[in-house]
Amino acid sequence: MSLASLSDDQRFGLSRRVSLPGPLHLDGGATLSPVEIAYETYGTLDRDAGNAILVCHALTGDHHLASPHPRTGKPGWWQRMVGPGKPIDTNRFFVVCANVLGSCMGSSGPASINPVTGRAWGMAFPVITIRDMVRAQALLLDHLGIARLAAVVGGSMGGMQALSWAATYPQRVAAAVVIASTARHTAQNIAFHEVGRQAVMADPNWREGDYYDREAPARGLAVARMAAHITYLSEAGLTEKFGRRLQAREAKSFGFDADFQVESYLRHQGLSFTDRFDANSYLYITRAMDYYDLAEEHGGRLANAFASATRFCLVSFDTDWLYPTAESRAIVQALNAAGAPVSFVELSSPYGHDAFLLDSPELDRIVAGFLGA
């Protein structure tokens, strides 16, 4: 693939997969080579490669950012944010979104083939960190000829990557947009992820991760997703959306079917997730998030993580109890201490953590304004 061919391609959303030789040195001490990365690009890279924006996806996301998913036909997960004339304007920016290391949408992860054995890695895949994901993305940008990003943008785990980008490669990041995110996983965050991992590992089909030629641990993964999904929504949002409303039937069944709409909704969330996500990837990525603590990586002081070379935009949502506003404020304080320019807005939304993916004209204006500045 050449950059020329990229620029010449007129189709919106160019989906590619690249095998980079690496080697990629991981925080855990292991080395990965080659490194497969699935990614999409939108727009045209300038001659000086100065107009690139990297968008980082969340835990269960993928690189199908702004064009329909090739298999499901579903719209890209941030189509409302990325496109011609949209807040991340592809008429102006060359936008890259890569599937994270450890995931299962085309980038190297536990479901990939281990070149040594010729079989899926499973739990032999090395444990990774958020910083390792960022290092893999840096390899991709090297490959694409992008020395410095105009911006890195992400929500939730995408925001962790954006922060880690600024901390790991300050000279390669002009600006960072960090939405509904945090600089570290708290005990409660870890606790919820641990429940999910134990649910997966309790499924006898998990077989220590060696299930790729058998039935997958779908029931355990569904339970994990259900538990996590509760943390993505606010109590008020759940009440507004479902309250105690019953399913179609008129009265309680006095049984264990999904009587309440919220039960049926959660079951659906759990089951549909298992169609699209690999259980081992869920273990690896949640582990990476739990290990994540930017301050810890920088001598215990968050301000040490940041240089003044990058300008920041932070956004939180008032009903987000997964990564509440206080976590964003802690980052803002550290950025102030580091002398980095930062703007911060707490938006009001009934939808909890998930608000960053939903229609929000205020968020659109903030992102557009920050990138336009």
The token duo for 295 is: 């301050």
Direct distance between the N- and C-terminal alpha carbons of the chain, in angstroms, rounded to an integer: 33
Comparing CA positions, the residue from 363, 304, 352, 373 lying closest to residue 87 is 363
The yes or no reply on residue 260 touching a second copy (CB under 8 A) is yes
Q: Which of residues 8-27 bind a second copy (CB under 8 A)?
A: 27
- Give the span between the Cα atoms of 289 and 143, in whole angstroms: 26
Q: What are residue 24's phi and psi, to 5 degrees? A: -100, 115
- Give the span between the Cα atoms of 196 and 223, in whole angstroms: 7
To the question of whether residue 225 is assigned a binding role by annotation, the answer is: yes
The yes or no reply on residue 222 touching a second copy (CB under 8 A) is yes
User: Residue type for 290, please?
Assistant: D
Q: Which range in 45-53, 81-89, 256-264, 303-311 contacts a second copy by CB under 8 A?
A: 256-264
Q: Which range in 106-114, 215-223, 302-310, 333-341 contacts a second copy by CB under 8 A?
A: 215-223
The yes or no reply on residue 227 touching a second copy (CB under 8 A) is yes
Among residues 184, 310, 363, 371, which is the contact residue for a second copy, using CB under 8 A?
184
The yes or no reply on residue 270 touching a second copy (CB under 8 A) is yes
To the question of whether residue 364 is assigned a binding role by annotation, the answer is: no
Nearer to a second copy, 238 or 332 (CB): 238
The yes or no reply on residue 131 touching a second copy (CB under 8 A) is no
Comparing CA positions, the residue from 326, 329, 325, 321 lying closest to residue 352 is 321
Q: Which of residues 321-340 bind a second copy (CB under 8 A)?
A: 321
CB-based burial, 36-60: b 16+ in 10 Å, e otherwise: bbbbbbbbbbeeebebbbbbbbbbb
- Give the span between the Cα atoms of 21 and 278, in whole angstroms: 25
The yes or no reply on residue 65 touching a second copy (CB under 8 A) is no
The yes or no reply on residue 370 touching a second copy (CB under 8 A) is no
The token duo for 20 is: 């980079």
- Whether the CB-CB separation of 283 and 289 falls below 8 Å is answered with no
Q: Which range in 7-15, 72-80, 225-233, 310-318 contacts a second copy by CB under 8 A?
A: 225-233
Query: Hunting for tokens 């949209």 — which residue is that?
Result: 86
- Whether the CB-CB separation of 99 and 108 falls below 8 Å is answered with no
Residue 57, sorted as left (phi over 0), alpha (psi -120 to 50) or beta, turns out to be beta
**152, β-bridge pairs:** 54, 176
Whole-number minimum distance, CB 238 to a second copy, in Å?
4
Which residues are identified as catalytic?
Answer: 156, 320, 353
Q: Which range in 67-75, 166-174, 263-271, 362-370 contacts a second copy by CB under 8 A?
A: 263-271
Among residues 79, 114, 186, 247, which is the contact residue for a second copy, using CB under 8 A?
186
Give the interface with a second copy as residue ranges (CB under 8 A). Answer: 27-30, 123, 126-127, 184-188, 190-192, 194-195, 197-199, 201-204, 219-220, 222-223, 226-227, 230, 233, 235, 238-239, 241-244, 252, 254-256, 258, 260, 262-263, 266-267, 270, 283, 287, 290-291, 293, 296, 321
The annotated binding site for substrate is made up of 225, 354
